[in-house]
Amino acid sequence: MTQQAVADRLGVRPESVSQIESGRQSPTLTSLVGLAKALGVEPSALLQFEGTPVPDPAGADEHGLLADYRKLSENAQRTIRAVALGLQR
């Protein structure tokens, strides 16, 4: 199905369909339901992300720091939290 055909069924411009398809724009719930209807699928089918990797916002340095933090005693962890809170101010 072309973007034009989907746009016609949804009552939107083809550019809107293109932006949704490319991930530059997120569809509203109403658009999502309409899109599912236009494609002949259940809305839940459009929300399945199986096999799609979810990026981890933490980098290797942050994972290393967390691993080191977990190795500390409870008292040392409290000290680290107090220092971190002080740095935030």
Identify the CATH number of the domain in which residue 29 sits. Answer: 1.10.260.40
Q: Average pLDDT of 56-77?
A: 89
Structural domain count, the chain: 2
pLDDT over 70 percentage in the chain: 92
Q: How far is CA 79 from CA 63, 67, 70, 71, 85, in A?
A: 19, 16, 13, 14, 10
Q: In which domain, by residue range, is 74 found? A: 57-89
Within-domain flag for 52: no
Phi, psi of 11 (to 5 degrees): 75, 35
User: For the whole model, what pTM was predicted?
Assistant: 0.48
Return the residue matching tokens 């658009």: 31
- With bands split at pLDDT 50, 70 and 90, how would you rate the model's confidence at 81? very high
* pLDDT value of residue 45: 85
What number of CA atoms fall less than 13 Å from residue 22's CA on the CB side? 8
Residue predicted with more confidence, 76 or 6 = 76
